[in-house]
Amino acid sequence: MTCTTICAKGLSATIDSMGAQLMSLKVGDAEYLWQGDPEFWARRAPVLFPIVGCLRGDESVSERGPVHLKRHGIARLYDHRLVDSGESSVTYELTSNNETRAAFPFDFKLNMTYSVDGTSLAQAFKVTNTGDVDLPFTLGGHPAFNVPVPGAEGETFDDYKLVFPEAWTARIPAIDEAGIHDFGNMTTLFEDQREFDLSHELIAEHLTIVLCDVPGNRVSLVGKKSGHGVELEFPGFDYFGVWSASETAPFVALEPWHGCASAYDEPEAFEAKRSTMVLAPGESTELAFTVTPF
């Protein structure tokens, strides 16, 4: 396990080879990323692959055989190999092995590239099917951010809001204690609004807020007093999770997902999960999102 720091024009990011996890995102000396206090949540920004969320009973079936995956999959559990590094970008790689195949019976190569341009951090996923059968998977990011953000130390969690590019109506699925989604039980979180106030109580009520088809694939976390926060842009990701660990945790996770946890209206087959991507042997696909502190 080794960490690599990249930097451009005062914006720096540190990434750990363990899980290819973002460990720090700073503007100068100001830290925007949650620093993983185990009192609340020890992780910081795990990579979610080959599932987002959880399977029913942590199990599923596939054309290749049984799948045994705990919440958010296996990418976060392994040391990723450093394959490229420069002043402002770094790329890690995880390839399937006998241990991963016991949990997820497919061959793959996952490359995670992080880059900074002085304004934003880009986190890019590249998945390649290295096997001889179709590869089904979902993926996502899970970065958590300090609340209050730097420069806004007098603010509380309730002083933050999510801001969207345009007014819209958000309907979210119910989630049970096992993390399974119920798209037959939808709640209107807000209607015809461009801004939405955050609170620990609201997140706790829904366990995780799962936003579907966010307009413009863009969300900003903004302090109502300071105007400081972060903006995420996530083209190609069809879900966006909002989560915090407890009603006193000083962070919020803002999570671009391609796919989501298993749902009650889905068949048992792993390939039938919502938003599952499928790559033919030899094929690759790429997705990326950006984080802009301000």
- What is the domain-level CATH number for residue 148? 2.70.98.10
Confidence class for position 221, pLDDT limits 50, 70, 90? very high
Residue 238 has what pLDDT?
97
Please give the backbone phi and psi of residue 32, each rounded to the nearest 5 degrees, phi first.
Answer: -95, -25
The number of folded domains in the chain is 1
What's the rounded mean pLDDT across residues 171-180? Answer: 95
How many CA atoms are closer than 13 Å to the CA of 27, on its beta-carbon side?
A: 15
Give the whole-angstrom CA distance, residue 107 versus residue 88: 30
Please give the backbone phi and psi of residue 130, each rounded to the nearest 5 degrees, phi first.
Answer: -100, 5
pTM here is 0.96
What's the rounded mean pLDDT across residues 152-157? Answer: 91
215 has pLDDT over 90: yes
Give 259's DSSP letter. S
Maximum C-alpha span of the chain = 56
The residue among 153 and 129 whose pLDDT is bigger is: 129
107 has pLDDT over 90: yes
Q: For residue range 223-236, what is the model confidence (pLDDT) as tens digits?
A: 999 999 999 999 99
Rg (CA), the chain: 18
Q: For residue range 4-40, what is the model confidence (pLDDT) as tens digits?
A: 999 999 999 999 999 999 999 999 999 999 999 999 9
Q: For residue range 38-84, what is the model confidence (pLDDT) as tens digits?
A: 999 999 999 999 999 999 999 999 999 999 999 999 999 999 999 99
Provide the pairing of β-strand 218-223 with 229-233.
antiparallel
Residue 17 has what pLDDT?
98
Give 227's DSSP letter. -
274 has pLDDT over 90: yes
235 within 8 A of 122, measured Cβ to Cβ: no
124 within 8 A of 113, measured Cβ to Cβ: yes
Helix residue ranges per DSSP H, 51-161: 98-103
What's the rounded mean pLDDT across residues 196-201? Answer: 96
Domain membership of residue 118 as a residue range: 3-293
Residue 179 has what pLDDT?
94
153 has pLDDT over 90: no
1 has pLDDT over 90: no
